[in-house]
Structure 1
Amino acid sequence: MRDAFTLFVRLIVYHMDQDDPKKCTAKRLLKFGEVKFVKTVWSLPRGCILLNPFSKIVLSPDDCKYSNNGLAALDCSWAEAEKSFDTIKSRVQGRILPFLVPSNPVNYGKPGKLSTAEAFAGALFILGEEAQARKILSSFNWGEEFFKINRELLEGYSKSKNQDEVLDFQEKYLKGIKNRKGSTEEI
């Protein structure tokens, strides 16, 4: 949750120009004034939360203490992601998002392959900023679908207190999916 003087979480994108510009959700967020682009690692605010799919620490509501410094994403091609994230480990609080399912047309239904806009929305929701999360996805025709297919997950994560509770909720949720499927396949 924001303090009395801050109305929203600053969203920063370290943009690497590796994706098709027509499919780049970060560029659309920039067009609507929802994010700020930076061109160098050193332009990321010190201590901000960096959404990093290779981090060992899971984002939780407890991380809202860092959100005053901003929430950042590295916008790059999934093919180049691991190499790109290795270059910016210092200066930031790296966090991986818990299990979420994308609704964007490029990676629909492929767990973890979120667009930059979906990653921001998921993180904001978990940090208690649901209104801002919904606002940034409102400019995408598939935006509301993200909240529908992840409703139970987002609500569970946002009600957790810390990383351990987020991981416990995620584990219970995934076990429930396996039990409903009646299979031992990995999700």
Structure 2
Amino acid sequence: MNKSRSKIRKNHRSNSKKEERLAEKLSELAVDSDESNAGEDGSAADSDTSTSANEKPKNQFDVGKPAQFPVSMWDLNHCDPKKCSGRKLARHGLMANLRLGQKFPGLVLTPVGTNCVSPLDKNIIESSGIAVVDCSWARLSETPFNKMKSPNPRLLPFLVAANPINYGKPCKLSCVEAIAATMYITGFKEEATWYLNKFSWGHSFLTLNQELLDSYAGCKNSKEILEVQHKYLEKAEAEHSNRNRNVDFPTSESSSDEDE
């Protein structure tokens, strides 16, 4: 856990102070991730599990259930193909690739979305599916969003990444984390778990964000989602400030007393 906290603090130097404080708070509540068991692409490492003779073998791939709606992505080739969670899902037939210029009728997670994902989007996903724009935040200016159209563009609310590349960073979610978060918030929790469990670190995403995800899933619309996000950030900042005020540092006078 100390190693994970140190890594989070190091990676947050370029983030805002509020996001850094919240990420540090969440890291204290998190369990150790399984990054040490992940392959180069962050995928689950193969391992044998011992079971009794009468017990059916079970592993992480048995948890949850596959989606009964389309799951797709536009891949802009901005990231390392060996570490991209979206490409791993596509290789295994769990996510379809969309062409530039191809319109997607379902919900699309994109940086140019105007509304936040909410439980109101469940019917859209159920009938037409989810897609994600896999691009780098550092290259948004060169991303052809006009060639990736959907009637339902959406943004995700505040969440913390658990993938090995951006562990502990606010809002730096991988493709599978973004897809799973959308599923969870809109009522497809088993499907979200099924996708996350294709990665050895997937369970850590739910651990880090359980409180937020459950709160978001209990909202009625985007407005309530944003209110929950705002209150959570304020609460985290207040708790961080109170914890710092309660630290009892020794004074120079007490040091002198001890010496005497």
Q: TM-score range by the shorter chain?
A: 0.7 to 0.9
Q: Is the 8 A contact 1:102 1:113 kept in 2?
A: yes
Gap regions ≥5 residues in structure 1? 1-6
Q: Is the 8 A contact 1:102 1:108 kept in 2?
A: yes
Aligned-partner SS, 1:101: coil
- Percent identity between matched residues is 34
Which structure's CA Rg is the greater one? 2
Return closer, same or farther for 1:10/1:135 CA change in 2, 3 Å cut-off: same
Question: Where in structure 2 are the equivalents of 1:1-187 lying within 5 Å?
Answer: 8-42=68-102, 44-46=103-105, 48-67=106-125, 68-84=127-143, 86-88=145-147, 90-182=149-241
Q: Partner residue of 2:249? A: none
- Give the stretch that moved more between structures: 74-83 or 150-159: 74-83
- Give the stretch that moved more between structures: 90-99 or 77-86: 77-86
1:141 and 1:176 map into 2 onto residues whose CA distance is 31
RMSD: 1.9
What amino acid maps onto 2:163 in structure 1?
N
TM-score by length of 2: 0.63
* Greater RCO (CA < 8 Å, at least 6 residues apart): 2
1:174 and 1:62 map into 2 onto residues whose CA distance is 23
Return closer, same or farther for 1:127/1:83 CA change in 2, 3 Å cut-off: farther
Q: Deviations over 1:11-39 (max 9, x none)?
A: 11111222111111101111232211122
Gap regions ≥5 residues in structure 2? 1-66, 243-260
2:165 and 2:123 map into 1 onto residues whose CA distance is 33
What amino acid maps onto 1:31 in structure 2?
R
Return closer, same or farther for 1:85/1:128 CA change in 2, 3 Å cut-off: farther
Q: Is the 8 A contact 1:103 1:142 kept in 2?
A: yes
* Residues paired across the two proteins, number: 176
What amino acid maps onto 2:234 in structure 1?
K
1:82 and 1:73 map into 2 onto residues whose CA distance is 17
Return closer, same or farther for 1:144/1:106 CA change in 2, 3 Å cut-off: same
